Amino acid sequence: MLTVDRRTFVKASAMAAATAAAAGTARAFSLAILAEQPEGASLKWQKAPCRFCGTGCHVMVGTENGKVVAIQGDQKAEVNKGLLCVKGYHVGLAMYGKDRLTTPMLRKDGEMVAISWDEAIETIAKRIKANPKGFSFYGSGQWTIPEGYAANKFVKAGLGTNLIDANPRLCMASAVTGFMSTFGVDEPPGVYDDIDQCDVAIMWGNNMAEMHPVLFSRLVDRRARGEKVMIIDMTTRRTRTSDFADEVLFFKPHGDLAIANGIAHLMVKSGKYDKEFVANHCNFRKLGPKPDEKTPPDMLGVQMTFEEFAAAVDVYTPERVEELSGVPAAKIRMLGDLYCNRGIKINSFWCMGFNQHTRGTAINCIVHGIHLMSGHFGKPGDAATSLTGQPSACGTAREVGTLCHMLPGGLAVANPEHRKHAEEHWNLAEGRINPKIGYHAVELFKRFNTPTDQGGDVTTVWVQVTNPGQTLPNLGRNFLKKKDLSDKFLIVSDVYPTATTELADLILPSAMWVEKNGMYGNSERRTHQWFKMVSPPGEARDDAWQVIAVSHKMMELGDNGMKDKDGKWLFQTVDKAGKEVPIWNWENYYDVNVDERLFNEYRLFSRHKHHDLAPYGEYVKTRGMRWPVIEQTDGSWKETRWRFSGFDDPYVAKGKDFQFYHSVTKDDKALIWFRPHEFPPEMPDKDYPFWLCTGRVLEHWHTGTMTRRIPQLHRAMPKAYVEMNKDDASRLGIRNNEVVTVKSRRGAIDLPVWIGGRGDPKIGEVFVPFFDETKLINMVTLDEYDPYSKQPDYKKCAVTVVRKS
Amino acid sequence: MLSPKMNLRYSAETVWVVLAAAGAGTVAYASIGDGQVTTGQVMGMPLAAAAPQGPPAVVSTDITWRLNSPAPKVIPESQSNPGAVADKFASRVKSLEKRAAVRAYEGAPPVIPHSIADLNVETCRACHAQGLRAGDKTSKMVSHTYLRNCTQCHVEAESPMLGPDTGPGNSFVGFRPSGYGGTRAGAGAPPVMPHSSFMRTNCVSCHGEFGYDGWKPDHLSRSNCVQCHAPAAEFEQLSPTFGVPDVADGMAATPRR
């Protein structure tokens, strides 16, 4: 393990001896001269964002002889200032698992057979060309921005369908609809700087200490500097976050809806909300009537007067909120007092507790609402911060619009003007963009899992950079049925064998992270860039190249959809001299910077909704920039931190202190929604008496395909388990580490019990992490979703827990 | 004519020895570092071979005495106690191996070689705030006291609850230091730090009382370490030569396949 080889050591010892052999006078201390070369001189260091979560830390990657050998936190990065979490420190190992996929494989007679890339590309091209309307792309918030853009253009311009969706449907969709309903446009108005300035930090059902550790450190390390910051942990079970909190408020599932309404109630009753802010910058809003029994009211809603709003929240007295949520009335009053205090700064944080929620849009809206109403908005430290799970759910899926109802730059398929913009940017014939939206994730896979002659009109799916075979809810219904449907064809681009590749018909080995150029966008609207540093193993190739190669092959086979209205190929790329570069050939793919070519085309879309992105070259020079990025008179590019705030957002009209320039009501005002508390669709009962919550742990990223192959992370957390309250366990006679069956109406999984471990659920609750592919807890979860975002609720369903023996 | 293979790094030493001998007429000197002893001539005068003499009757630090006396006989440590020299190096090697066993690469946060109370990071400080020794085990003083969320970076080497599990293999080979230590400008010069100083502002953590064998300096009483020990340009991110420049030409460094 040490790099001192025996020979060198002996040589050194010999020198010491020889020197000392001088008759008498030599001073022997010759070991000092052995350090001939400075340590680490052969390492090359380059920047990259971390591969893992939505925080978007930057790392410095140390490479030597074509391999990654070390990682440092990037001290020049504003996000993390040199600090990483355990996953980030070990991100360099993610590429070196021994079972990397290195050759394309096709399933022939039940066996996976290695094939050439040419055969793979042709197989895909022919399959899609035979039935483009039956083809769906399923992508990812871990797609780089250029990858997502290539796939989006391929489907929406090239195929003229909108049959593309992505895994942020399962993680951030409700945050999106929450932003859209409140501000008329997606993504947070605030930034991470709010963490440094707030006086009170409220966690609304998220375990920030494990899930966004570097941001959480940013908060708690302020205490090491002597700053006072109050942390309130609102949670359904005790976690590591609770340990740092001044107040831990345990609430019942869906109690968050009641708590937020309770705070609104107290603000109305006391009159101590920010009346001026509300009068100048906000409208009240409620849902309209249902068109019919089955269909929910539309997301747009109808106007509500303040009096109506006051009457609606009147019922949410602290006592009533205590009944609905389990949080004591005195604590609700404490929260009310905090929000009514204009002299402090409050930063709310949330993540999957709010988004993986059958009323996800609602809860997102009403927490935005209480921040707006109380005036705790738009000033450093006053923010309602939706944290993102994936490294580029924002940068790729949301901003590039790789969803069935969206176009790049925040534009919408349903909007005829937006379709026209896309047709202009892409030089397409008028009407080429299909006005009919495609299928959202759960719907997409439901149809893929339904026989073709019974309405299962999705017959080919191409999955890139994600693992729906492990992450879709109710896997028995939504994924595994494909196995018996022989006419369905699943293409998977990935780096390791996964639960999804188990059912794949065609597997494409892909390059990951610093094996390719890339760009990501994090939770604070920061777009970052990195260069390829090492080569991918074997025949693995970039995901974007795969899409581009298929597009070109389809054009060669006569598909004119892959050309714009002037007959030019959609991905045509020229070098500086204007000569075309055949980027569909892998050998030529890195003759130019395809990322730059795609990004500089994509950024044209970003102006329409004030998402302004700078040219690619600017991101090379920085550790990311937060949009809107505006060119200054001296040619430099300036990022924007607080959107809609006059002091920082250049798009706010002069003289205004706030302007919501994408206002739903078209009057520069944001919306404060009323949404009632509602109970979850499936609740514990006699047969299934426990709440099941699922989620992550610090060591593992999502489905663990990367982190379980990193020994330090795997050994610390080698397998899944079920957390149980010790009183429940005692009552059922279950001992620590005993194997139990966790069963719902949909499926069952066996797991060891862990009492008094990482987290501690309340009585009547259990928790299971979803990283373990040998323990697919999504066999058990519920596939009910929010009516607006279509995001499923992984946080609550009813299960029973039974001892195996 | 004497033309010793003088290693200029040690010329200061050599000059001293020569000066010491000049007055006496007999001089034996060695140029340290070239592995050779030259007895010959200095400044055109023949030299007699060195003859060890007993200590002078009067001991004085006066420079005149030095010029009039032969150089004192010093038995080098590697002769008097050869094991110690080898041990010094060997103990460093052992310490590096100990470190490497819990680190994916030099600079990675070590995994925790013992079980922990998961829901309370204050328990970490019980042993690591000051460091302590229990039997033959030491717990190091934490080198970055301002970071409060310990378990964000440090995870257990093995999960006591969920059992040992080696998991699938990984071919990553992490950067390891050579063990030679920091480079020096000359003999006796303070070595440059052979590692990054970021998050290692508390030198005592590894080099102090509860630190690693082979790394405890003989001047622990001095507390302003960085006054003499410079950071290493190879690791210090804020050094102007660190890292590949972030310019559009970074594309030139990109592997083509």
Instruction: Give me the DSSP letters along chain B.
Output: -------GGGHHHHHHHHHHHHTTS-----BTTTTB---SEETTEE-PPP---PPPSS----HHHHHHSPPPP---HHHH-HHHHHHHHHHHHHHHHHHHHT-SSTTSPPPBSS---TT-THHHHHHHTT-EEETTEEEPPPS-TT---GGGT--BSSBTTTB----S-B--------SS----SSTTPPPPPSS--TT---THHHHSTTS-TT---S-TT---GGGT-PPPTTT-TTSTT-SS--SGGGGGGS---
B211 pLDDT band, cuts 50/70/90, is confident
Asked if A61 and A71 count as a contact pair (C-beta separation under 8 A), the reply is: yes
Nearest to A25 among B71, B85, B109 (CB): B71
Distance from CA of A767 to the nearest CA of B (A): 16
Tell me the average pLDDT across A110-133. 97
pLDDT at B11: 40
Closest-CA distance, B170 to chain A, in angstroms, reads: 4
The answer to whether the Cβ–Cβ distance between B182 and A622 falls below 8 Å is no
Distance CA A564, CA A572 (A): 10
- The answer to whether A102 and A540 are in contact (CB under 8 A) is yes
Which is it for strands A411-412 and A460-464: parallel, antiparallel or unpaired?
A: unpaired
pLDDT grade for B49, boundaries at 50, 70 and 90: very low
Cβ contact A606:A619 at 8 Å: no
Is residue B81 over pLDDT 80? no
Q: How many whole angstroms separate alpha carbon A802 and alpha carbon B90?
A: 56
Beta strands in A388-459 (DSSP E): 406-407, 411-412
Question: Higher pLDDT residue, B159 or A316?
Answer: A316
CB atoms within 10 A of CB A259: 29
Burial of A109 (0-12, 13-18, 19+ CB in 10 A): exposed
pLDDT at B228 (0 to 100) = 93
Whether ipTM exceeds 0.90:
no
How confident is the model at residue B50, as a pLDDT? 41
Main-chain dihedrals φ then ψ at residue A461, nearest 5 degrees: -125, 135
Query: How crowded is residue A766: how many other Cβ atoms within 10 Å of its Cβ?
Result: 24
pLDDT at B21 over 50: no
* Measured distance CA(A494)–CA(A508) in Å, rounded: 6
* B11 CB-near residues (< 8 Å, 6+ apart): none
Confidence of residue B29 (pLDDT cuts 50, 70, 90): very low
The arithmetic mean of pLDDT across residues B127-149, rounded, is 89
Contact present, A59 and A72 (Cβ < 8 Å): yes
Alpha-carbon span A21 to B82, nearest angstrom: 13
CB contact under 8 A, A39 and B178: yes
Q: What is the pLDDT of residue B120?
A: 76
Asked if A567 is an active-site residue, the reply is no
**CB nearest B93 (choices: A2, A32, A590):** A2
Active site residue A171: yes
Contact A747, A779 (CB under 8 A): yes
Pairwise CA distance, residues A620 & B254, whole Å:
13
Judging contacts by C-beta atoms under 8 Å, the chain B residues touching residue A41 are: 234
User: Nearest chain B Cα to A590, which residue?
Assistant: B256
pLDDT digits (tens, 9 = 90+) for A329-355: 999 999 999 999 999 999 999 999 999
Chain A and chain B share a number of CB contacts under 8 A equal to: 337
CA distance B139 to chain A (A): 20
Q: Which residues contact A451 (CB under 8 A, 6 or more apart)?
A: A485
Looking at the predicted structure, is the pLDDT value of residue B37 above 50?
A: no
Put simply, the answer to whether A238 touches B119 (Cβ < 8 Å) is: yes
- Mean pLDDT of all residues in chain A? 94
Pick the residue of A712, A717, A751 with the most B CBs within 10 A to test the interface with B by mutation.
A712
The confidence score (pLDDT) of residue A647 equals 96
CB spacing of A98 vs B146 below 8 angstroms = no
Q: How many whole angstroms separate alpha carbon A716 and alpha carbon A708?
A: 10
| Arithmetic mean of pLDDT, B211-230 | 87
For the stretch B170-182, pLDDT in tens is 999 999 987 767 7
CB contact under 8 A, B85 and A83: no
Does residue B110 sit at the A interface (CB-CB below 8 Å)? no
- Is residue A470 part of the annotated active site? The answer reads no
User: Measured at the alpha carbon of residue A605, what is the angle toward residues A604 and A608, in degrees to the nearest 5?
Assistant: 110
pLDDT for A274: 96
Nearest of A295, A374, A40, A726 to residue B196 by alpha carbon: A40
CA distance B238 to chain A (A): 8
Task: Find the CB nearest B155 among A82, A587, A712.
Answer: A712
Using a CB–CB cutoff of 8 Å, tell me whether B125 touches chain A.
no
Nearest chain A alpha carbon to B192: A38
* Residue A87 among the catalytic residues: yes
Helix (H) or strand (E) holding A729: helix A726-732
What pLDDT score was predicted for residue B63?
A: 56
**What's the pLDDT at B12?**
38
Query: Touching check for B181 and chain A: CB below 8 Å?
Result: yes
Evaluate if residue A454 carries a pLDDT over 60.
yes
Name the closest residue on chain B to residue A621, using Cα atoms.
B246
Query: The dihedral of CA B206, B211, B215, B216: what is its sign?
Result: positive
Q: How far apart are CA A796 and CA A688, in angstroms?
A: 12
Write down the pLDDT at residue B103: 96
What pLDDT is recorded for position B241? 78
**What is the rounded distance in angstroms from the CA atom of residue A65 to the CA atom of residue A69?**
9
DSSP A521-542: E-TTSEEEEE---SPPSTT-B-
Residue that wins the pLDDT comparison between B83 and A415 = A415
Q: Which of A21, A220, A714 sits opposite B149 (nearest CB)?
A: A220
Q: pLDDT tens digits for A24-55?
A: 333 333 344 445 567 788 899 999 999 999 99
Q: What is the pLDDT of residue B48?
A: 42
Task: State the DSSP string of A388-407.
Answer: -SSTTIIIIIIIII-STTEE
From start to end of A487-562, where are the E strands? 489-494, 506-509, 518-521, 526-530
Are B119 and A243 inside 8 Å of each other by CB?
yes
The mean pLDDT value for A142-146 works out to 98
Q: How far is the alpha carbon of A18 from chain B, nearest alpha carbon, in Å?
A: 5
Q: A389 catalytic, yes or no? A: yes
pTM over 0.95? The answer is no
Can you read off the two tokens belonging to residue B162?
């969920």
DSSP structural state of residue A155: I
Which of A75, A73, A84, A63 is CA-nearest to residue B244? A63
Place of tokens 């001073």: A27
Q: Which residue is associated with the tokens 């793979």? A: A120
Establish if B18 touches chain A: CB-CB under 8 angstroms: no
Whether residue A9 has pLDDT greater than 80: no
B195 contacts A737? CB cut-off 8 A: no
Beta-carbon contacts of residue A118 (< 8 Å; ≥ 6 apart): none
- In the numeric block, which tokens belong to residue A716? 């610390």
> Helix count (H) and strand count (E) of chain A?
25, 33
Could you give the CA distance from residue B4 to residue B138 in angstroms, rounded to a whole number?
49
Query: What pLDDT was estimated at residue A26?
Result: 37
Q: Is the pLDDT of residue A68 over 80?
A: yes
- Contact at 8 Å (CB) between B121 and A243? yes
The predicted-structure confidence for A361-418, as pLDDT tens digits, reads as follows 999 999 999 999 999 999 999 999 999 999 999 999 999 999 999 999 999 999 999 9
pLDDT of A720 over the 90 cut:
yes
Average pLDDT over residues A528-556: 97
Of the listed A85, A95, A172, A394, which one is catalytic?
A172
At A534, the pLDDT band (50, 70, 90 cuts) reads very high
- Residues 54-73 of chain B with CB under 8 A from chain A are 71, 73
- Of all residues in chain A, the one with the smallest CA distance to B193 is A39
> How far does chain A reach from its first CA to its final CA, in angstroms?
46
Under an 8 A CB cutoff, do A590 and B89 touch? no
Q: How far is B219 from chain A (nearest CA, A)?
A: 17
User: Are residues A488 and A451 in contact, defined by beta-carbon separation less than 8 angstroms?
Assistant: no
Whether the pLDDT of residue A655 is over 50: the answer is yes
Annotation marks residue A92 as catalytic: no
Backbone phi, psi, residue A768, to 5°: -135, 130
B150 in contact with A, Cβ within 8 Å? no
Candidates A60, A85, A87, A609; catalytic one:
A87
Residues 209-228 of B with CB under 8 A from A: none
Average pLDDT over residues B199-220: 87
**What is the C-alpha separation between B65 and B62, in angstroms, rounded?**
5
Q: Cα distance from A176 to chain B (closest Cα, Å)?
A: 29
Tokens of A604: 């044209």
Asked whether the beta carbons of residue B167 and residue A708 sit closer than 8 angstroms, the reply is yes
Q: Determine the 3-state secondary structure of A222 from DSSP.
A: helix
Catalytic member of A54, A389, A438, A561: A389
Q: Closest-CA residue in chain A for B198?
A: A82
